[in-house]
Amino acid sequence: MKIKKVAAAVGLTFMLSAASHANVLPQSQTDNNWYTNAQTTLATKNTQAQSAQSAQVTKAKNVILFVGDGMGISTLTAARILKGQRAGNPGEEGYLSFEEFPYSAQVKTYNVDAQTPDSAGTMTAMISGVKTDVGVIGVDEDIERGVCSTVSGNELLTATELAEIKGLATGVISTARITHATPAATYAKSADRNWEDISDMPEGSEACEDIASQLVNFEKNLEARFLGTDVDGLDFVMGGGRRHFLPKDAAANSSDATSAVEGDRTDERNLVTEWQTQYPNATYVMDQAGFDAIADDATKVFGLFNESHMQYEADRANDVAGEPSLSEMTTKAIDVLGKNDNGFFLTVESGRIDHAHHAGNAYNALNDTIEFANAVQAAIDNTNPEETLILVTADHSHVFTIAGYPKRGNPILGQVVAVGQTAPSLAADDMPYTTVGYANGLGFRDLGDETNADATYLSGPVAGRVELNGVDTTTPGFHQETTVPLGSETHAGEDISLHAKGPGAQLAQGVIEQNVVFHLINQALELTQQ
């Protein structure tokens, strides 16, 4: 009896304490915008959680996987600030489209054999559910990189292939070469990510098929692998990398070719014409005009917009024949794939975020990230949230940093100006420094209004500090200083983020291995369910 009385007394004390503290906060605190905005955010999340808990919806008709290649956390932070500053705001308070998704997770990116990963291994993990080694595509870790004979028996089945078998429409988009590591992992099996066409393959690898050929033969290869299976092949493919599909013959050049001989293939095959022969009622496009002319009733489309990678978003206006934006390609893909009543699975990669970072050019990396967020918004606007799961993630990060002590609203691409100051802060060497920078790479370049980040490769590394007094570091052509001189900036090994919205999104929580992404897709679409 005494214990019960003590317990009751403790409970009463707690209630009185809670009540007394309810009014302890000063009105200046509770009326503060930061305070009220946080309350609103929490209320929204509570509503979302209750709705998800009551519905427990995990199955989706459609899944779109967005991959920002090289889009680490620091890239997201800097891109959101730049986006906000372009709108006339301080910048820090904003969000990229997918950062407002209700669910997120932290993703470990290491490869089986590497602490800091590459895109071949990371994308293979996301698209197949199995982690693998650096530099190999669509095969497990028992592969030996560059050895063709080790491919057989180690092939993995991807979400794209499973979706095909299930009768869903399938597609892959990239601003990189469509044969590059990340998009290639959706459809190819290769002992080396660099085997983009037959000219890239060493002697002794004749038993293996190059990546471009595997794309064109996707339907045939899948049906041969699973006898009795009837699929119709990839329904929507867009990206760069035309050279890997054309013979090494000037006669096969596209109208916008920038090289004397555009094609690289040494087997005399023209894979574009092979694809057109295989799908006579489909649409092939290679420029903006062709893209704009895609018929409303199109159900199969193949687009190759550049000899190599597509342009950086900031440089897109300089393309010889014009290229669609990532947002435009995403919108068109949803329109085409959405005609399949069974649903669809689409992978969208912004490949040039990664390339800009490798070039040490924050401007283009952040600008392409903003366009990537626009593409995600396009997907949100053109799909039904009750039937479409949207996953947004990266394959890895970069050694890209945000440092110093700049004041709120200081230009993210600018020099550090401290709180209460108007002039740039000086380092111990009496020189100003930028907020964003790189731990390694080619280092400083002042190329002014140059919008092609790859122009940096025309000269060697510039290590260490450079006098930035009088230099406009916010221009497209400015390349940040670096600590360690290398021929190209490198990936980083820390975790990246996963953002999720739609049926099954509530399962994206906590810290997960990168291969779990496949299993989220698999569960949502029931790809392996008999």
Residues involved in catalysis: 119
Q: Residue 463: is it exposed, middle or buried by C-beta count within 10 angstroms (0-12/13-18/19+)?
A: middle
Q: Residue 433: is it exposed, middle or buried by C-beta count within 10 angstroms (0-12/13-18/19+)?
A: buried
In whole angstroms, give the CA distance from residue 125 to residue 113: 13
Task: Mark residue 20 as left, alpha or beta (left: phi above 0; alpha: psi -120 to 50; beta: remaining).
Answer: alpha
Residue 279 CB coordination number (10 Å): 20
Helices (H), 110-204: 119-128, 159-166, 181-184
Nearest Cα to Cα of residue 348 among 87, 148, 97, 527: 97
Sheet of strand 103-108, all strands in order from the earlier edge strand to the far edge: 283-285, 301-304, 236-240, 169-177, 344-350, 62-68, 388-394, 496-501, 103-108, 511-513
Cα 244 to the center of its chain, rounded Å: 22
Cα 433 to the center of its chain, rounded Å: 29
In whole angstroms, give the CA distance from residue 98 to residue 236: 23
In whole angstroms, give the CA distance from residue 130 to residue 145: 17
Helices (H), 158-217: 159-166, 181-184, 211-216
For residues 322 and 146, the answer to whether their CB atoms sit within 8 Å is: no
What phi, psi does 483 have (nearest 5°)?
Answer: -90, -50
